């Protein structure tokens, strides 16, 4: 199996983490902000120095291609997202991009050109940290034969606002991307004309299972489904000093009752269901005014579609009951509904064969985090490989994975890409 230098991969991830390094610790690199653009430009240069053909697509996904000799074969695509949560870790997303570049660089150095093109992509956005939308990069890339879908998404971008009131469309245009973008002339101005042969994503586990079992590799069999919503509670703002308690329509105390109710129901619910309120805003948000309006986010996940939807319906019903009891009005605006997605069994078997051949101890597992692989799974076989997260911590400055484990994951990625790109099975219909 090709070797990826332990020190090198840790170094390169540290280097990428400089873009958006947060003074309070961690990394904040948000779609189309300055650090995002600087990171993409750095990665474009790094892909070029790795001998890859570099191009952007309309939304700013950045591709590095190791051109195959047989252009009739569709490319294998690896990679992940370059954006982060606010004060997130330096491995979530970034690891899959850096490992992909190092793997293609090592393969080219050892074996020259593959038969089948091999590509690494730095997807522009997955987290939903700046605008109320997620998977902005992979949704565009996966709509390879649905230009109207991307046109619709570009239309919607005109009314997706960040905290400072800038629209996604304006932010995209400010980086030179979007339908009229001039990002770099001569580069591919549209997404891919055909789906990749396969999408394989290397990612940190973001949980504690591998570490608890002392294993270095997890092969993902499925990714949980998610329902995300913004809940608004409309009460009545009033004077904090002159309004008797029994006459109040306090939006914040109503929201608090809903949030504690949600936590308690999730605790008692089906095994594996999780529900989170990650952000909350009160209006007018000053100490001597009873909050008149509260907006908070709800994030519900489960590996079974019906359990996920059942819980979401129960939650909306429970919130309505609490609102009625308190004389306030509640509304629920869904921002994401993505079903649980199985990973491709052929690719899972391929990963298992590579691990067995190389004597690597692995386990099969599902993912509690969402990933770009679940979007690509709509249009091509998709699969993921996990490496451990220390103490299971992620979306936090303390996110960490040992360099040896990072390098092992990258070696397995390189070996899998080698088998799919250089030792192409002579199958006509290109099945995995």
Q: By the criterion CB under 6 A, which residues form the site for ligand HGY?
A: 126-127, 369-370
The minimum distance between CB 47 and ligand HGY, in angstroms, equals 24
List the beta bridge partners of residue 77. Answer: 119, 199
The minimum distance between CB 108 and ligand HGY, in angstroms, equals 31
The minimum distance between CB 366 and ligand HGY, in angstroms, equals 12
In 3D space, the residue among 239, 237, 233 whose CA is nearest the CA of residue 254 turns out to be 233
Cβ neighbour number for residue 382 with a 10 Å cutoff: 28
Identify the H or E element spanning 400: none
The minimum distance between CB 94 and ligand HGY, in angstroms, equals 12
Contact call for residue 93 and Mn ion (CB under 5 A): yes
Contact call for residue 191 and Mn ion (CB under 5 A): no
Among ligand HGY, Mn ion, none, partner that 93 touches (CB below 5 to 8 angstroms by kind) = Mn ion
Among Mn ion, ligand HGY, none, partner that 370 touches (CB below 5 to 8 angstroms by kind) = ligand HGY
Contact call for residue 128 and Mn ion (CB under 5 A): no
Among ligand HGY, Mn ion, none, partner that 340 touches (CB below 5 to 8 angstroms by kind) = none
Among ligand HGY, Mn ion, none, partner that 201 touches (CB below 5 to 8 angstroms by kind) = none
Question: Which residue lies nearer to ligand HGY by CB, 282 or 394?
Answer: 394
Cα angle: 25, vertex 26, 30; to 5 degrees:
125
The minimum distance between CB 406 and ligand HGY, in angstroms, equals 18
> Is 293:251 a contact under the CB 8 Å cutoff?
yes
| Residue written as token pair 């690199």 | 29
Q: Which stretch binds Mn ion (CB under 5 A): 91-99, 130-138, 215-223, 299-307?
A: 91-99
Question: Which residue lies nearer to ligand HGY by CB, 367 or 405?
Answer: 367
Contact residue for Mn ion among 12, 33, 57, 92 (CB under 5 A): 92
The minimum distance between CB 235 and Mn ion, in angstroms, equals 33
Backbone angles phi, psi at 316, to 5 degrees: -60, -40
Q: How far apart are CA 397 and CA 141, in angstroms?
A: 29
Question: Which residue lies nearer to ligand HGY by CB, 52 or 307?
Answer: 307
Contact call for residue 207 and Mn ion (CB under 5 A): no
Among Mn ion, ligand HGY, none, partner that 292 touches (CB below 5 to 8 angstroms by kind) = none
Cβ neighbour number for residue 227 with a 10 Å cutoff: 22
In 3D space, the residue among 334, 328, 396, 312 whose CA is nearest the CA of residue 84 turns out to be 396
> Is 326:236 a contact under the CB 8 Å cutoff?
no
Question: Which residue lies nearer to ligand HGY by CB, 274 or 289?
Answer: 274
Buried b (16+ CB within 10 A) or exposed e, 76-93: bbbbbbbbbbbbbbbbbb
Pairing of the two strands 280-283 and 293-302: antiparallel
Contact call for residue 344 and Mn ion (CB under 5 A): no
86-to-20, 71, 170, 310 alpha-carbon distances in Å:
10, 41, 21, 31
> Is 341:199 a contact under the CB 8 Å cutoff?
no
In 3D space, the residue among 121, 293, 144 whose CA is nearest the CA of residue 199 turns out to be 121
Pairing of the two strands 62-66 and 53-56: antiparallel
Contact call for residue 299 and Mn ion (CB under 5 A): no
Q: Which stretch binds Mn ion (CB under 5 A): 85-93, 233-241, 291-299, 318-326?
A: 85-93
The minimum distance between CB 369 and ligand HGY, in angstroms, equals 3
Question: Which residue lies nearer to Mn ion by CB, 84 or 117?
Answer: 84
> Is 9:407 a contact under the CB 8 Å cutoff?
yes
The minimum distance between CB 192 and ligand HGY, in angstroms, equals 23
By CB under 5 A, the residues from 272 to 291 that bind Mn ion are none
Q: Which stretch binds Mn ion (CB under 5 A): 88-96, 304-312, 346-354, 410-418?
A: 88-96
Question: Which residue lies nearer to Mn ion by CB, 93 or 207?
Answer: 93
Q: How far apart are CA 24 and CA 30, in angstroms?
A: 16
- Residue 272 DSSP SS3: coil
The minimum distance between CB 243 and Mn ion, in angstroms, equals 42
Question: Which residue lies nearer to Mn ion by CB, 89 or 421?
Answer: 89
DSSP state of 88: B
Among ligand HGY, Mn ion, none, partner that 83 touches (CB below 5 to 8 angstroms by kind) = none
Q: How far apart are CA 65 and CA 22, in angstroms?
A: 31
In 3D space, the residue among 121, 255, 132 whose CA is nearest the CA of residue 192 turns out to be 121
The minimum distance between CB 141 and ligand HGY, in angstroms, equals 16
List the beta bridge partners of residue 63. Answer: 55, 121
Determine the residue with CB nearest ligand HGY.
Answer: 369
Q: Which stretch binds Mn ion (CB under 5 A): 44-52, 90-98, 300-308, 319-327?
A: 90-98
Residues that bind Mn ion (CB under 5 A): 92-93
């Amino acid at each position: 199996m090709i070797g990826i230098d332990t020190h090198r991969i840790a170094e390169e991830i540290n280097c990428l983490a400089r873009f958006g390094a947060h003074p309070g610790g961690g990394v904040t690199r948000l779609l189309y902000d300055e650090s995002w653009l600087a990171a993409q430009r750095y990665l474009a240069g790094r892909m070029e120095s790795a001998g890859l053909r570099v191009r952007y697509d309309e939304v700013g996904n950045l591709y590095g291609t190791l051109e195959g000799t047989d252009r009739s074969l569709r490319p294998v695509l690896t990679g992940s997202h370059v954006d982060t949560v606010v004060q997130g870790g330096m491995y979530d997303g970034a690891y899959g991009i850096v490992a992909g570049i190092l793997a293609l660089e090592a393969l080219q150095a050892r074996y020259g050109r593959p038969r089948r093109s091999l590509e690494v992509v730095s997807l522009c956005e997955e987290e939903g940290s700046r605008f109320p939308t997620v998977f902005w990069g992979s949704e565009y890339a996966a709509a390879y034969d649905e230009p109207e879908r991307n046109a619709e998404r570009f239309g919607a971008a005109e009314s997706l606002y960040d905290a400072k009131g800038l629209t996604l469309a304006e932010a995209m245009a400010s980086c030179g991307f979007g339908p009229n973008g001039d990002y770099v002339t001569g580069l591919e101005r549209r997404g891919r004309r055909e789906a990749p042969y396969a999408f394989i994503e290397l990612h940190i586990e973001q949980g504690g299972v591998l570490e608890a079992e002392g294993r270095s590799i997890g092969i993902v069999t499925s990714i949980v489904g998610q329902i995300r919503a913004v809940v608004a509670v409309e009460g009545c703002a009033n004077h904090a000093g002159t309004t008797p308690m029994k006459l109040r329509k306090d939006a914040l105390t109503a929201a608090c009752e809903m949030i504690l109710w949600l936590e308690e129901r999730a605790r008692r619910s089906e095994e594996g269901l999780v529900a989170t309120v990650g952000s909350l805003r009160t209006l007018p948000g000053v100490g001597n005014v009873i909050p008149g309006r509260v907006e908070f986010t709800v994030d519900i996940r489960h590996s079974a579609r019906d359990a996920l939807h059942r819980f979401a319906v129960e939650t909306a019903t429970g919130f309505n009951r609490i609102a009625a009891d308190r004389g306030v009005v509640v509304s629920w605006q869904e921002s994401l509904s993505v079903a649980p997605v199985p990973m491709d069994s052929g690719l899972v078997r391929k990963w298992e064969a590579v691990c067995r051949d190389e004597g690597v101890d692995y386990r099969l597992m599902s993912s509690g985090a969402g990933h770009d692989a679940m979007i690509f799974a709509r249009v091509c076989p998709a699969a993921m490989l996990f490496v451990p997260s220390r103490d299971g911590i992620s979306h936090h400055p303390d996110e960490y994975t040992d360099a040896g484990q990072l390098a092992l994951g990258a070696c397995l990625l390189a070996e899998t890409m080698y088998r799919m790109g250089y030792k192409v099975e002579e199958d006509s219909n290109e099945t995995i």
